[in-house]
């Protein structure tokens, strides 16, 4: 008679690793909120281990149907933990359906890690805590390998996977995912409300700190921003020749923070009485058109060309709204769909996309940005003074006020 297998150690390892995966999921959900709101509460730790931090968590592969991937991973890890605990309680049993479920869940987690790792390769950006998660899932698979029954027929394993035991991980996963999504949205709304209240109460101090951090007044205002067919918006009685405030906004349609600046700037221009002329300039973080740049956004160049083509039909701002709203999907077919949604002549738009000359405006803007020593996006210039970041309307107004006051003094 063969000696019964001892599952204690691998099951303890599974409990520990799945607990760490749960904690990692909670952390990455908080990181996702930081990137959405633009407030750095916990995301700073990511930059200790990677130049680009965990920005990929808020990129085009960071959500599925509006649900953060971190929330899905958290729920899956909690379901795995529940299975591991139940299997540990029944570790003396010669056969246990929870051990089959653990092997299936660990196998699926490992496959999910391979898929997400591939997406990170496509993005050209690796989140260090995501990589840690891939390592945890690999460890889960190895530990689950030692608790499986190698002699079990496929039919018997399917019976385990479809038996009553499956309702434990499924139930935990469902409740955990629903709770995570609810918590994520509630926390996001709470943090946004706190941010708005803080901005309203402390706009002058916040703007002064931003200008100091950017060393805005330590440098002379740049005079190399020469517009050439750049999209322009005029408010407060400004004209093409005269405006109290001239803003040049450098953006990248695949950059999450550029989306925030775009939205904040649009809201501000819709409500301000200041005489402002806004120019938009392209600075894609994509070496397909911006050689030597850190290639963070592989679709940014073609999105910029598409925006140039929309400008030729006097629809740049409307098209830009649609593109930023859907910045996770910027393949050529997607851009054509957005052109249709923005009311463009699609045939003329596609002809423009195929015209090599359409890249000319993008390269002009990139050259202008390089002369102005741009290091990334979003960057904007107020009367030649450089500011980096994305800010809500009250901060934008205060930045302008303090720059005008500096110039007048």
CB 84 within 8 A of CB 20: no
**What is d(CA 405, CA 409) in angstroms, rounded to the nearest whole number?**
6
**What is d(CA 400, CA 402) in angstroms, rounded to the nearest whole number?**
6
- 394: pLDDT strictly greater than 90: yes
**What is d(CA 360, CA 316) in angstroms, rounded to the nearest whole number?**
16
Q: What backbone phi and psi angles, to 5 degrees, belong to 276?
A: -130, 135
pLDDT of residue 369: 94
Report the percent of the chain where pLDDT is more than 90: 62
**What is d(CA 157, CA 94) in angstroms, rounded to the nearest whole number?**
14
**What is d(CA 263, CA 286) in angstroms, rounded to the nearest whole number?**
22
CB 98 within 8 A of CB 166: no
Q: Taking the domain 8-190, which CATH number applies?
A: 1.20.1440.130
CB 78 within 8 A of CB 172: yes
pLDDT tens digit string along 170-189?
999 999 999 999 998 898 88
Please determine whether the domains at 8-190 and 215-408 fall in the same fold group of CATH: no
pLDDT tens digit string along 83-136?
999 999 999 888 888 998 999 999 999 999 999 988 888 766 778 899 999 999
- 382: pLDDT strictly greater than 90: yes
Please report the sign of the dihedral spanned by the C-alpha atoms of residue 392, residue 395, residue 398, residue 400: negative
Q: What is the DSSP letter of 211?
A: H
Which of 123-137, 204-218, 270-284 is predicted least confidently?
123-137
Q: Left, alpha or beta for 299 (phi > 0: left; psi -120 to 50: alpha)? A: alpha
Structural domain boundaries of the chain?
A: 8-190, 215-408
Three-state SS letters, 267-328: HHHHHCCCCEEEEEEECCCCCCCCCCCCCCCCCHHHHHHHHHHHHCCCCHHHHHHHHHHCCC
- Cα–Cα distances (Å) from 89 to 7, 22, 72, 84, 102, in that order, read 11, 20, 26, 9, 14
**What is d(CA 401, CA 280) in angstroms, rounded to the nearest whole number?**
21
Flag whether the pTM goes above 0.85: no
**Token pair 């991973």: residue:** 73
DSSP alpha helices (H): ranges in 146-255?
A: 154-161, 167-214
Q: Taking the domain 215-408, which CATH number applies?
A: 3.40.30.10
pLDDT of residue 1: 44
């Amino acid at each position: 008679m063969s000696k019964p297998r001892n599952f204690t150690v691998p099951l303890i390892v599974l409990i520990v690793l799945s607990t760490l995966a749960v904690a990692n999921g909670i952390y990455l959900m908080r990181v996702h909120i930081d990137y959405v709101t633009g407030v750095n509460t916990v995301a700073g730790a990511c930059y200790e281990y990677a130049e680009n931090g965990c920005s990929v968590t808020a990129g085009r592969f960071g959500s599925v149907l509006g649900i953060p991937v971190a929330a899905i991973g958290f729920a899956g890890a909690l379901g795995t933990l529940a299975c591991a605990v139940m299997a540990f309680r029944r570790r003396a049993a010669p056969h246990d359906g929870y051990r089959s479920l653990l092997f299936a869940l660990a196998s699926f987690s490992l496959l999910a890690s391979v898929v997400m790792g591939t997406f990170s390769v496509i993005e050209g950006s690796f989140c260090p805590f995501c990589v840690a998660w891939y390592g945890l899932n690999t460890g889960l698979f190895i530990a689950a390998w030692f608790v499986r029954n190698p002699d079990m027929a496929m039919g018997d394993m399917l019976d385990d996977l479809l038996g009553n035991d499956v309702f434990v991980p499924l139930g935990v996963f469902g409740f955990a995912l629903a709770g995570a999504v609810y918590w994520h949205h509630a926390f996001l709304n709470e943090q946004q409300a706190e941010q708005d209240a803080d901005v309203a109460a402390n706009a002058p101090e916040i703007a002064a700190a931003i200008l100091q951090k950017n060393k805005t007044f330590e440098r002379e205002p740049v005079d190399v921003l020469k517009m050439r067919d750049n999209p322009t918006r005029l408010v407060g009685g400004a004209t093409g020749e005269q405006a109290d405030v001239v803003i040049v906004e450098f953006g990248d349609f695949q950059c999450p923070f550029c989306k925030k600046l775009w939205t904040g700037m649009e809201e501000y221009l819709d409500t301000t009485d200041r005489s402002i002329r806004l120019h938009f300039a392209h600075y894609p973080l994509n070496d397909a058109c911006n050689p030597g740049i850190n290639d963070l956004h592989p679709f940014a160049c073609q999105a910029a060309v598409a925006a140039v083509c929309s400008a030729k039909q006097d629809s740049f701002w409307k098209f830009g709204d649609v593109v930023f709203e859907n910045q996770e999907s910027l393949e050529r077919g997607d851009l054509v769909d957005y052109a249709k949604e923005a009311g463009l002549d699609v045939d003329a738009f596609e002809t423009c996309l195929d015209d090599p000359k359409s890249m000319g405006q993008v390269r002009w803007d990139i050259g202008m940005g390089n002369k102005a020593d741009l290091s990334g996006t979003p960057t904007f210039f107020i009367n030649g003074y450089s500011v980096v970041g994305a800010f809500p309307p009250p901060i934008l107004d205060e930045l302008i006020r303090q720059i005008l006051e500096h110039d007048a003094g």
